[in-house]
Amino acid sequence: MSGVLPVAGQARKLALVKLLHTMVWAFFVSCIVGIPIACIGRQFRWADVLAGIVLLECSVLAVNKGRCPLTDVARRYSDDCRANFDIYLPEWLARHNKLLFGSLFVADLVFLARQFI
């Protein structure tokens, strides 16, 4: 597309991909935030399920060279280079998303493991 604005159909498709990507992101962030909440409530089975869901997503990202597959779909409709071209997040959060929530997830796993020591 080399710098031109996408046609209306492409813009609509990009908006749908961004919406879906944001919803998926919110789901996984909810899982990450839910792990310590489940632990505090002594709901360890739920904490394990949430951790398993996030680990499944981590494996999807690993297989896709660290990218969400929805990023590849969004790329079909945009040549934008910003970190948030494919998701409705502030650019700083999109840029640091894996570091922030990856660190939180590791902390969650440590917290979960400590419940059994």
The DSSP letter of residue 4 is S
Decide if 24 is inside a domain: yes
Residue 64 corresponds to which amino acid?
A: N
| DSSP H helices in the chain | 8-40, 44-63, 69-75, 91-114
State the average pLDDT over residues 1-28: 85
Look at residue 46 and tell me if it is in a domain.
yes
Whether residue 95 is predicted with pLDDT greater than 80 in this model: the reply is yes
Handedness of CA 9, 11, 69, 24 (dihedral sign): negative
- Range of 22's domain? 8-114
Mean pLDDT taken over the chain:
93
Domain presence at residue 3:
no
Q: Is the pLDDT of residue 16 over 70?
A: yes
Digit-coded pLDDT (tens) for 22-43: 999 999 999 999 999 999 999 9
Contact 70, 17 (CB under 8 A): yes
**2 domain residue, yes or no:** no
Question: Is 82 a member of any domain?
Answer: yes
pTM metric for this prediction? 0.88
8 A C-beta contact, residue 36 and residue 87? no
